[in-house]
Amino acid sequence: MMCATTPGETMQATLPSSPAHTDRAAVAAFFAEHGFYHARGVLDRTDVATLEGDFDRVVDQLVSSGEAINARWGNDTTTAIDGGGTEVIHTHQIQKYSAAWARMLFDDRVLDVAQAMLGPDIVMHHTKLFLKPAGRGAAFPPHQDVGYFPTVQNTMLAMNVMLTHADDSNGCLRIWPGSHKLGRIERSMGAHDEFAARFPMEGSIAMECEPGDLLFFSYLTVHASLPNRSDRQRKHVLVQLHSGQDRIESGGHPASNLVLRGWNHHMTRSAADCS
Ligand SMILES: O=C(O)CCC(=O)C(=O)O
């Protein structure tokens, strides 16, 4: 909750308690008000063990590929937070490696929660694996995601599938509740000191999560994360979703346009041929 201030203003934020994920109306209202929603315990231990096993296998494959796999933002704003020499191991589209992850995308327990925020038509834009290695995991400065894949109706959100315990010491996500109400902010992609100065960390809340939790936030919600200085890895997969009533304004970012539930109302023959 932003206390008695406007979104984005500096003031110690406090964590509004998320409603149960079975109460769709309450989830929708909470998300509209705060710009995020934390669904606890959606996936069980067995699911997490399978997904984490495949996550680790993907990481091994990435490392042995010899490709560039460090997605740390190489700018001074990041170095001001984490001191440099850090990394985030990353690939897009984990479902192109693992059938277990492809099945997870269609899991009704997951989609039932997403539907509360997106309605009955749900399109997956892309997925991203993130591993913040123990002791040297990179920070992300405050930013919005809207600039990367804007949609006409701003329905795009991130669904973060948590595989490990995450807290500030291993670089969990931090969110500025209510900041989505500021809409699209100029130069919000995070590589700018002015933006970071406008959103000091004290105005954010650390989203402590457990394996099997889902953390949703709008692509308008300002978010960040601190470095992983702990002896614990931080593993999660981010799934970018939008409503099937909405459409991408401009391309450029890897996109799957995979319909997970319902219908993609703006799909065309030429668009279906792309990506
Ligand atoms: O996972 C993190 O720590 C931050 C990732 C992020 O901000 C993003 O992908 O937009």
Report domain extents, the chain.
24-273
pLDDT surpasses 70 at 191: no
How many other C-beta atoms are found inside a 10 Å radius of the C-beta of residue 63?
11
CA-nearest residue for atom 8, ligand 1, is 145
The predicted structure's pLDDT at residue 125: 97
| Best CA proximity match to 110, nearest among 96, 98, 124 | 124
CA separation, residue 113 to residues 131, 132, 175 (Å): 24, 26, 20
Taking the C-alpha atoms of residue 111 and residue 152, their distance in angstroms, rounded to an integer, is 22
Predicted confidence band of residue 4 (pLDDT cuts 50, 70, 90): very low
In DSSP terms, 62 is beta-bridged to none
Q: Mean pLDDT: which of 12-21, 54-63, 75-84 is highest?
A: 54-63
**Above pLDDT 70, what percent of the chain?**
95
The structure tokens 């099997």 sit at: 212
For the CA of 160, the closest atom of ligand 1 is 1
Q: How confident is the model over 72-84, as pLDDT tens digits?
A: 998 899 999 999 9
Q: How confident is the model over 111-131, as pLDDT tens digits?
A: 999 999 999 999 999 999 999
The predicted structure's pLDDT at residue 18: 87
- The radius of gyration computed from the CA coordinates of the chain, to the nearest angstrom, equals 18
> What topology is assigned to 24-273 in CATH?
Jelly Rolls (2.60.120)
pLDDT surpasses 60 at 275: no
The predicted structure's pLDDT at residue 250: 79
Q: Summarize the confidence of residues 138-166 as an average pLDDT.
A: 96
Q: How far is the centre of ligand 1, averaged over its atoms, from the C-alpha of 73 (Å)?
A: 10
Mean of the per-residue pLDDT values of the chain: 93
Q: Summarize the confidence of residues 42-48 as an average pLDDT.
A: 98
For the CA of 171, the closest atom of ligand 1 is 3
222 contacts 179 by C-beta, under 8 angstroms: yes
CA separation, residue 25 to residues 28, 33, 112, 205, 257 (Å): 5, 12, 12, 24, 27
The predicted structure's pLDDT at residue 3: 35
CA-nearest residue for atom 3, ligand 1, is 225
The predicted structure's pLDDT at residue 1: 35
236 contacts 161 by C-beta, under 8 angstroms: yes
Q: Summarize the confidence of residues 20-47 as an average pLDDT.
A: 97
Predicted confidence band of residue 190 (pLDDT cuts 50, 70, 90): low
Q: Summarize the confidence of residues 222-241 as an average pLDDT.
A: 98
Q: How far is the centre of ligand 1, averaged over its atoms, from the C-alpha of 140 (Å)?
A: 6
196 contacts 82 by C-beta, under 8 angstroms: no
Q: Which residues contact 110 (CB under 8 A, 6 or more apart)?
A: 42, 43, 104, 159, 161, 214
Q: How far is the centre of ligand 1, averaged over its atoms, from the C-alpha of 2 (Å)?
A: 21
123 contacts 242 by C-beta, under 8 angstroms: yes
Q: How far is the centre of ligand 1, averaged over its atoms, from the C-alpha of 74 (Å)?
A: 14
Q: Which residues contact 183 (CB under 8 A, 6 or more apart)?
A: 154, 220
Predicted confidence band of residue 6 (pLDDT cuts 50, 70, 90): very low
Taking the C-alpha atoms of residue 178 and residue 6, their distance in angstroms, rounded to an integer, is 8
Predicted confidence band of residue 274 (pLDDT cuts 50, 70, 90): confident
For the CA of 236, the closest atom of ligand 1 is 1
**Helix, strand, coil tally for the chain in percent (to 5):** 30, 25, 45
Residues lining ligand 1, judged by CB closer than 6 Å? 130, 140, 145, 171, 173, 223, 225, 238
The predicted structure's pLDDT at residue 157: 98
Q: Which residue has the higher pLDDT, 232 or 254?
A: 232
